[in-house]
Structure 1
Amino acid sequence: MMSFWLVLQQLALIIILISTTDALNNNETDHVSLLAMKSKILDPFGGGALSSWNESSHFCNWEGVFCGKRHKRVTFINLRSLGLSGTLSPHVGNLTFLRTLCLANNTFYGEIPNEIGGLYRLEVLALQRNNFQGRIPASLSRCSNLMFVRIGYNNLVGTIPEEFSSLSMLKEINVHENNLTGGIPKFLGNITSLESLIVSNNLFGGTIPNNLGQLKNLALLYLDQNQISGMIPSSLYNLSNLNVLSLAFNHLHGSLPPYFGNMFPHLQLLQLPVNNFTGQLPNSIGNLTKATMLTFNRNEFSGKLTIDFSKLVNLRILNFNFNNLGSGDFDEMHFLKSLTNCSSLETLNAVRNQFRGVLPDFVGNLSSNMNFFTLDSNQLQGRIPPTIGNLVNLSLFSLNDNKFTGPIPSTIGKLQKLQRFSLGRNQLSGTIPDSIGNLSLVNELYFNNNNLEGTIPSSFGNCQKLASLRLEQNNLSGNIPKELFQVSTLSILLNLSHNHLSGPLPSEIGELKSLVALDISNNNDLSDEIPGSISSCTSLQFLFLQGNMLRGSIPMSMEFMRGLQILDLSSNNLSGQIPTFLEKLSLINLNLSFNDFNGELPLHGVFANSTSVSVYGNDKLCGGIPFLQLPRCSIKKLNRNFFSSKRIYAIVGASILGILILISSLVFYLRKRKRVSTTLELLPKESFVQISYGELLNATDGFSSSNLIGAGGFGFVYRGVLDHIGDVAIKVLNLVNPGATRSFIAECKALKNIRHRNLVKIVTCCSSIDFQGNEFKALVYKLMMNGNLEKWLHPCQETSRLEFNLLQRLRVAIDVASALDYLHYQCKPTVIHCDLKPSNILLDQQMVAHVGDFGLSRFFHPEMGISHHSSSMGVMGTVGYAAPEYGLGSEMSMKGDVYSFGVLLLEMLTGKRPTDLMFVDGLNIRIFASQVLAGNAIEIVMDPTILKNDIVNGQRDNCLIAMVKIGLACSEELPQNRICMTDVVRELQQIENVMCK
């Protein structure tokens, strides 16, 4: 018996020794694995975060490492938010006691290693907010204890592995913000332990699986921002434990059943925006007593809103924007009565519905916590109730685009926390109350397009946070108070146009040093001179003073307003000579029409472009470019006394000197012509059809203005018909412009050998002497019957909007991208266009796009670099389209063309020029377009013309988003971050395949 117990004791001792040895060995395994992990981690703080991971202490004491007390094995790694980068080492799979791995909120990249499946004790995997790529490893299914998978905000692709169906303890799957595809996997409905399913912002398609209704423990269901279609399956209404149901930004349709609100007693957050839901909102929504947020915006809900919200005492946000709610009943807005019981309500948005009737007085009884209240674009009428002044915590209050009448209540002065206040486009009357000056925090204030009268209150001077003010299209009168011009925060827009303001412009106008756009046009009674102090408005880009009675000359001090892009002084009584400093400003549009200017019109800068300058109605002007058809400036008769005997010798001497200069100039001119002809001889004559000056003269009826179809900085374009060729466009160079000859040579060289379907076809380059002995240069192209892209994107106000749908725009984009890809990668040498913009893209009869105007193009030779046509290049391209690095002196490059294409593509989608007036205060076309990727409505950002012409297969929004992404990828600020045109062509063609299925 004793021997038996002795044997047992010996066996126990052996087992303990073996366990101790294994523990020591496995301790060493953990040690080695951690060091291997460290070797793959990049620490931007020079070892600060992981400085303790060294041999001077036991690894259980290293930062972020936690061990079990018994065996000293690693059980928990927490390196969250340490700014780390690098990859995750496969050695992590050797930490077999690990229960929690948290690397969240760093910038790890690369794939999640398959070896992670060896962590069979793992319960929590938290890798969210990194840059991990590749697929979700199916090997994770071997981690049978796994409860929380948090891998959102990465760049993962593929599907959720079907092997996950074996993870019977799984409580949370969070793959938010990746690039996962396929449908929502049906097997997820079998993981009955799930409490949270978050698959938002991926590329999941298909329908919502019916068996998700089996997840009785589910509390959070986020399926938003995918491509899910179909209806909400009835089984989903079995999920009575839901706290969150988010289906926003999908393609779901159908109506909500009458019992909808009775099925989710615990629901706090309901998000249904940006789908295609229809029908009436069920009254049972009033039974969602735990709700804090209800959002139904951007659907097609309709009918009378009869929900009783009085039991929703926790409700904070209620959003009905962009639906068809409304019935026309007299008590249309009575639903607001029940909302007065929602004491936590902060946001109420009902923009763009069909609400009619009046805004009742009890609106003032809404929650004192209200800070956002918008009812824009409805059909509300009657007065604005004075009780609105009770909502003292409002920061945004907007009733734009309704039919409100009566005065602006003086009680608005109580809303001292207002930051945006908008009553524009109503029928309000009376005066602007002086209490407006109490709004000391307001930064946007819009009262435009009403019937307001009286004077502009001087109390506006107290609004010292005001950045944008619109009072245009009213009946305001009297002088402009100087206090308004002393609001130094005005930086975006001040619009006082189309009123009856009178008197002079106060000299205090110069205090608006940060203002970008000023419009005081069409007031008729504004008089006196333009104050010289206006030159202190150094940030002004857009200045509109037309339609007044301003007199005197253009102040010479305006020379210092170097940021001006648009200046309109038309229809005034201005006089004197037009100052030449206007040539030096960065003006893209100058209107001086219908004044009393005299003297010679300048020739350079904005004056060289007939489409950018207007001087009609100034009968005393002369000179200028031929297109403006002004009379030649006459030579003044010399005074008789000029020829007094005392001056004869001086005149003779000057004449001799003049003759010598003339002879020298003639010699220089002839040599220059020889150089030019030598340069042109580089172009083989057999490359082009030979056409004489006389033939071009006949083809255009003597270059008749009736055949003029365009003009630019370097010349004029005429329509003509040539024998054996047909319709042509003839670009006649304006040789007064010093860059015209260089442009001519550049274009001829660029087009002499290249042939591509999407490039303009040049017929010939002509360089000769016309019948008057003048030098003549012209380029002849095949005529493009549909003009340029500019007129399709931005038609003149006089013409109706041209039909230009999304598929047409996509195909134009593919054409242009194909042309650039050809120029960049298939031409020898490479051609860089340098001036891609809508006016340089021509459309033929079949709406096929052709890239033209190679006057600024450059050749790139790998062994020689960029070619230059002159010693002084300057910045290439056009403002808004030219790559930012060009402004810093960088060489022209293919990446510059890519940038221009990106801006062009965004312009085609948004309908906004990159120089649009709205792009101020840091906003630009990239930021504006990118809003569609951040969840904001496509309808706000995209060109309305596109949205009216939906794609048959319902892929419009997905295609728009994909195209915006390409535009943004092309127009990255850093050249090295831009994609190449080959990839652009491929991705655009993939979008076309989707649209044309």
Structure 2
Amino acid sequence: MSFKAPFSYILLFRTSFLLLPTSHLFATATNALRNDTDQIALITFKDKMVIDSFGALRSWNNSIHFCQWPGISCSTRHERVTALDLSGQGLVGTMPPFIGNLTFLTFLQLINLQDNRLQGTIPQDLFRLEFVKLTNNSLEGDIPANLSHCSELRALDLKRNALTGRIPAEISSLTKLAELNLSLNYLTGEIPPLGNLSALTRIFASYTSLQGSIPCSFSRMSRLTLIAIGANKLSGKIPSSLFNLSSLATFSIAANQFEGILPPDIGITLPNLFQFGVAGNKFSGPIPSSFSNVSGLVLLDFPDNFSGQVPSSLGNLKSLQWLNIGGNHFGNGGANDLDFIDALVNCTSLERLGMYNQFAGVLPNSFVNLTGLIELDLGDNQISGSISAGVGNLISLYTLRMSRNRLTGSIPTSIGKLRKIQKLLLDGNQLTGRIPATLGNITQLAELHLANNSLEGDIPSTLGDYQYLQLLDLSQNNLNGSIPAKFIGLSSLSMYLGLSRSSLTGSLPFQVGNLKNLGRLDVLMNKLFGKLPATFGDCSSLEYLYLQDNFFHGTIPSSLVALKGLQDLDLSNNNFSGTVPEYLASFQFLRRLNISINDLAGEVPTKGVFRNASAVSLFGNIKLCTEIDELQLPKCASKNPAKHQKSLAFTILIPIIGTLGLLHLVYVLVFYRRKKAKSISPSSSSREDQYNKVSYKDLFRATDGFTSANLIGSCSFGRVFKGKIPHHDKTVAIKVFDLHERGASKSFAVECEALKNIRHRNLHKIITCCSSMDFERKEFKALVFEFMPNGSLEKWLHPKADEEIQPRSLNLIQRLKIAINVASAMNYLHHECHVPIIHRDLKPSNVLLDVDMIAHVGDFGLAKLLLKTKEFPPNQNSSARIKGSIGYTAPEYGIGKKASIHGDAYSYGILLLELFTGKTPTDEVFKDGWNLHDFARTALPERVMEIVDPLLLSQEISPKDGSDNTKKSSQKRENIQECIILVLNIGVACSRISPGERMKMDDITRVLHLIRDKILGAQHQD
């Protein structure tokens, strides 16, 4: 089409030759040829697009003049293209090099191709350009230095691409440039001197990899109103002259390595500040009280290293909408930590307040006067006292988070007045009393977290009135009564319904079938009974179903065949009878099945999940049989009559032999009973007497004689079995010490001493102990712990081929929560115990996961108490054996340094790096001084996605994203990348060589909570 056009113009010239003057004819011909070249350029652009999602280029043809094509603007006089604006049209293709190489589009002043998926490089040599907007594409290569030839350029927007290299210093010659946006690229090097950009008002360069400091020349840009250079590797002190740039309105430098103290007069020298964000740096000192002079200040974001008291003068900021002071060192743990809240009441525009900071004391009643708040985060502090009834005044709230404090008393009924609340988080406190029925008045609620309290009584039926509730967690309380039918039938629930670990009774109402959108249901560890309702088959979205440790009976209903998406099903420790349903073998996504400790009978299916013996738990069903040896069940009876009679004979003889053996054991136990009591060490028993000890016989029976079928792992100085002991109706883990191994007896004593007075939700809870004699009069020592159904973190990160449970992969949120759980446990040991404890053997195999994938730190056999006592003097000259495990041990231990909390921080850092990279510190790639710390440090941040555990990426980033949701997928990938960069930076900071440079566990815990909340917030928006 474009090659035929010149012939039509020749014909035009011939027919018009006698009618027009020669000069007019020449001008017409010239314009026609120029117009034709513009059309050729545009058609070439169209040909480079492989996808035109919204048909923007569909009418780019000869049927109409190209100046009328969508996205094209032309000059009136010459009919030349002056603007190419195709933003947000879903175009996929390559940026044609002709745009920069040909002079066809010499009149072009605007290129706006943002929000597409264009590849290639940035156009060059378009000298008339005034606006270049290429945001949110996939452009690669360097920023061309010859953009400096575009002397008319006023806006250069290259945000969210894949550009590399340095920021060219030649840009400083663009004296008319008013806006420069280079954020979310892969740029390196330093920020060049840009002082000549006298017209520049806004500069964006966040989320790149820029290094160095802020050039002093910034202060010469007198019109500058916005600086946004967060999430880089910038360091040093902020040039003092920059704080004299009175035009500055937005100053955002978060997530860098800047240091120093903010000038005390900052609120006077920067009177026009609108937003001020410096989180994630190394600033220190107090918040300058002069901020109170900036009357137009809307946002203040101060997380990380500030200290002192929060100035009450912040109450003068009438325009303040967002105040985040979380994650600092404010307060002193005293009763007056929160007095500044009285002054904040004057901030009548305040909408968001973040205070996760380990503040102590009672929350002032004045907080109920912050009636303009839409988000209030008081979580992760040490706030005590009760929740004021005046909380009902905060009627504008959308989010109220008071999780993980020390709040007591009941939940006030007035909280039901908060009709706009969408997220209510009160979990992890010490709240008592009943769940107020008025909670049902909050009709907009999407998430309700009340877990880990001491709430009691019935579940109010009014909780069944919710229409938008997606997540409800009432787990680990003292609730009783039956489950209301209306409540269990909340059809809006899609994320999670948690009712575990209470004392709920009755049967599951048939209305459970209304949970058609629910992904996970937990009712484990209650007192529920009856048959499972057939309507369970209507819960078609269920992926995780946990009904274990109840009293359900009857057959496993055939209606469950409809739950094709199940990944984890646990029906263990109930009274189910009948056969194992054959349809379970057809569930292609089922990766874990636990139907142990029931009364099931018959032959076990041989296909599907049953082929993987490590994924199926069937023990405690003595009537089951199988042809699969790995399932460790009796062989099914042969159909041959002779063989059947032989099998029957064995069936009769085995109980007789077993009875005789049992009588013999009883005789031995009675005979040696007195001697057994005398043989126990007085020093040991004094440390162990707080537990209701069990006997060797109890543990022998609980583990079927310590058989390999009940062996679940090994640990330092022994092996671990699972079993059920008398008077304890739950499965337990029994750690049996190998007393032939040197140091085992000492390890037993150390662990008893360390565990006897510590209690934390993320520590492996000890139930009892045993220090006795076995049947052969040999010394026997064991500790009994809570059973962790999901095993160790080691098995999830590095499963062995013969025990792999598919999919043994942890998603991003699970890994973050595990990291937080472990950090919380270590922070408790270091800073909150009556006697600080050093673990000294922190590694993935000593991190255990319960049924909810909550992490618990265990194995205190190498622990050291920092306080010496007469009863238990710690040995400072310990042998190398008890200093930890290779790869996780702090390097200073190797040169004889004493154990310290810094050593645990090092181990935690290595564990954190391993959790997100999937690499062990002893991987074969680490040699010649190269280690996991260096592996992560040198990849940050440019190559971070190259070192992330591939299983994590496969969980989070789907390869099936279509063209219509690529923007969303790209945003998700960037959120994930940002999160992982922050986490790995913590791991690197913890595993530094110098002990004094490592992060402390309380700081780690706060930062990880911030990262988790950030990624959860992004997912919620998606």
TM-score, reference length from structure 2: 0.62
User: Is the aligned partner of 1:153 residue 2:157?
Assistant: no
Paired residues for 1:255-334 under 5 Å = 255-297=261-303, 299-334=304-339
Deviation for aligned residue 1:467: 1.5
2: distance between equivalents of 1:710 and 1:448?
31
Deviation for aligned residue 1:629: 4.4
Deviation for aligned residue 1:905: 1.3
- Per-residue Cα deviation, 1:524-581 (whole angstroms, up to 9, x for no partner): x322222333233222222222222223332333333333222222233333444444
SS of the equivalent of 2:218 reads: helix
Greater alpha carbon shift after TM alignment, 27-36 vs 252-261: 27-36
What residue is the counterpart of 1:489 in the other structure? Answer: 492
**What code does the residue aligned with 1:527 have?**
F
SS of the equivalent of 2:170 reads: helix
- Per-residue Cα deviation, 1:627-656 (whole angstroms, up to 9, x for no partner): 5544455569989xx9xxxxxxxxxxxxxx
Give 1:201's match in structure 2, choosing from 207, 210, 218. Answer: 207
What residue is the counterpart of 1:512 in the other structure? Answer: 515
User: Is the aligned partner of 1:138 residue 2:145?
Assistant: yes
2: distance between equivalents of 1:18 and 1:323?
81
Give 2:532's match in structure 1, choosing from 506, 530, 533. Answer: 530
Preserved contact between residue 53 and residue 90 of structure 2 (Cα < 8 Å): no
Paired residues for 1:71-470 under 5 Å = 78-83=85-90, 86-88=94-96, 89-90=99-100, 93=103, 95-96=105-106, 98-116=108-126, 119=127, 121-185=128-192, 187-297=193-303, 299-351=304-356, 353-368=357-372, 370-470=373-473
Compared CA separation, residues 907 and 175, structure 1 to 2 (3 A): same
Deviation for aligned residue 1:46: 11
Preserved contact between residue 913 and residue 988 of structure 2 (Cα < 8 Å): no
2: distance between equivalents of 1:237 and 1:935?
29
**What code does the residue aligned with 1:178 have?**
N
Deviation for aligned residue 1:926: 9.4
Give 1:550's match in structure 2, choosing from 540, 549, 552. Answer: 552
What residue is the counterpart of 1:847 in the other structure? Answer: 923
- Per-residue Cα deviation, 1:275-317 (whole angstroms, up to 9, x for no partner): 33333222222223212222223x2223321242233222222
The sequence identity of aligned pairs, in percent, is 37
Compared CA separation, residues 709 and 431, structure 1 to 2 (3 A): closer
SS of the equivalent of 1:333 reads: coil
2: distance between equivalents of 1:606 and 1:574?
20
Paired residues for 1:654-693 under 5 Å = none
Deviation for aligned residue 1:805: 7.2
**What code does the residue aligned with 1:87 have?**
M
Give 1:582's match in structure 2, choosing from 581, 584, 588. Answer: 584
Deviation for aligned residue 1:952: 7.9
2: distance between equivalents of 1:905 and 1:257?
43
Deviation for aligned residue 1:184: 0.5
Compared CA separation, residues 158 and 608, structure 1 to 2 (3 A): closer
Preserved contact between residue 613 and residue 630 of structure 2 (Cα < 8 Å): yes
Paired residues for 1:936-975 under 5 Å = 948-949=990-991
1: distance between equivalents of 2:557 and 2:55?
61
Paired residues for 1:790-805 under 5 Å = 799-800=858-859, 803=888
- For structure 2, which runs of at least 5 residues remain unmatched after alignment? 1-20, 646-706, 715-797, 803-842, 851-855, 861-884, 889-906, 927-944, 959-964, 1012-1022
- Per-residue Cα deviation, 1:2-50 (whole angstroms, up to 9, x for no partner): xxxxxxxxxxxxxxx9999998787467525422421331266699756
SS of the equivalent of 1:427 reads: coil
What residue is the counterpart of 2:480 in the other structure? Answer: 477
**What code does the residue aligned with 1:395 have?**
Y
Preserved contact between residue 312 and residue 344 of structure 2 (Cα < 8 Å): no
Deviation for aligned residue 1:213: 1.9
Tell me which structure has the larger Cα radius of gyration: 1
2: distance between equivalents of 1:247 and 1:241?
17
Preserved contact between residue 600 and residue 621 of structure 1 (Cα < 8 Å): yes
1: distance between equivalents of 2:627 and 2:442?
50
1: distance between equivalents of 2:161 and 2:970?
22
Preserved contact between residue 38 and residue 80 of structure 2 (Cα < 8 Å): no
What residue is the counterpart of 1:818 in the other structure? Answer: none
SS of the equivalent of 1:202 reads: coil
2: distance between equivalents of 1:942 and 1:18?
74
Compared CA separation, residues 83 and 582, structure 1 to 2 (3 A): closer
Preserved contact between residue 118 and residue 138 of structure 2 (Cα < 8 Å): yes
2: distance between equivalents of 1:810 and 1:287?
44
1: distance between equivalents of 2:986 and 2:557?
41
Paired residues for 1:808-847 under 5 Å = 846-847=922-923
1: distance between equivalents of 2:612 and 2:147?
66
Compared CA separation, residues 109 and 708, structure 1 to 2 (3 A): same
Greater alpha carbon shift after TM alignment, 263-272 vs 790-799: 790-799
**What code does the residue aligned with 1:440 have?**
T
Preserved contact between residue 23 and residue 71 of structure 1 (Cα < 8 Å): no
2: distance between equivalents of 1:476 and 1:811?
39
2: distance between equivalents of 1:637 and 1:52?
80
2: distance between equivalents of 1:517 and 1:46?
36
Deviation for aligned residue 1:109: 3.6
2: distance between equivalents of 1:349 and 1:812?
29
- For structure 1, which runs of at least 5 residues remain unmatched after alignment? 1-16, 643-703, 712-757, 763-788, 815-837, 851-900, 916-921, 965-997
Preserved contact between residue 812 and residue 848 of structure 1 (Cα < 8 Å): no
Compared CA separation, residues 807 and 903, structure 1 to 2 (3 A): closer
Compared CA separation, residues 21 and 278, structure 1 to 2 (3 A): farther
1: distance between equivalents of 2:498 and 2:371?
34
2: distance between equivalents of 1:478 and 1:150?
61
SS of the equivalent of 1:277 reads: strand
2: distance between equivalents of 1:903 and 1:487?
42
Q: CA RMSD in A?
A: 4.7
1: distance between equivalents of 2:532 and 2:947?
37
TM-score, reference length from structure 1: 0.63
Compared CA separation, residues 505 and 63, structure 1 to 2 (3 A): closer
2: distance between equivalents of 1:707 and 1:437?
46
Aligned length: 714
Deviation for aligned residue 1:431: 0.7
Preserved contact between residue 847 and residue 858 of structure 2 (Cα < 8 Å): no
User: Is the aligned partner of 1:569 residue 2:575?
Assistant: no
- Per-residue Cα deviation, 1:899-941 (whole angstroms, up to 9, x for no partner): xx9998155799x9999xxxxxx9xx999984645755866x7
**What code does the residue aligned with 1:499 have?**
S
Deviation for aligned residue 1:471: 0.6
Compared CA separation, residues 811 and 629, structure 1 to 2 (3 A): closer
Deviation for aligned residue 1:264: 1.4
Compared CA separation, residues 593 and 148, structure 1 to 2 (3 A): closer
